[in-house]
Amino acid sequence: MRALARSALSVGVALALLPVAGCSDYRDGSRPTKLAVFVPAHCASSEAELPTYDQGQTAGAGRVPADFQAVRVTHCAWIDYSIDGRPERSRIEMEEKRASTVSSALSAALELPDQKFPLFSDKACPAIAYGPQYLILIDESGRAVMPWLPQTPCGDLRAELTDALSGTSWTERQTYKFEAARN
């Protein structure tokens, strides 16, 4: 009889905890399988250097090679302005921030997967546009790669990555301005 009571108690506790375990807003998604491409060790300073985007991710971004030891990081973000109301010509303003170290928090955040909404979720994303941005990791020899940036289901950076970037001591700032033709 005691075994039956113990069994009933275990099932009751498990059923009580089930709703709590299923309440997460996110589940882990996937990580990229391709390796990050090698890039110049600075942000785009001309139209030819602008990275392209595919479904919210920077083309060429991927997993950092296992033998790559980043010692510096560059954060690139840009704003695109129309000139004279003509959409085919625009002025690009690229902000570059550099840090002479890569924190363990930033390294750990870059290893996270994208977040996804749980299956059959009723969650929705707000209508917010995020400005394009990317990171460049640089090793001791000057080689640079563009890591994949883990996102939330709505396309913004995961909180862990945002926190790591906010906690980074940026030592240099530079702005590039140039015109770019748009097709």
3-43 pLDDT per residue, tens: 444 444 444 434 343 344 444 566 677 777 788 888 999 99
Does residue 4 fall inside a structural domain?
Answer: no
Tell me which DSSP letter residue 7 carries.
H
Does residue 46 fall inside a structural domain?
Answer: yes
pLDDT of residue 18: 37
Cα–Cα dist 180/177, whole Å? 10
* Structure-token match 């840009």, residue found: 78
Tell me the percentage of the chain whose pLDDT exceeds 90: 36
Does residue 10 fall inside a structural domain?
Answer: no
Does residue 9 fall inside a structural domain?
Answer: no
pLDDT of residue 144: 95
Overall pTM surpassing 0.85 (yes/no):
no
Mean pLDDT of the chain: 78
Phi, psi of 112 (to 5 degrees): -75, 150
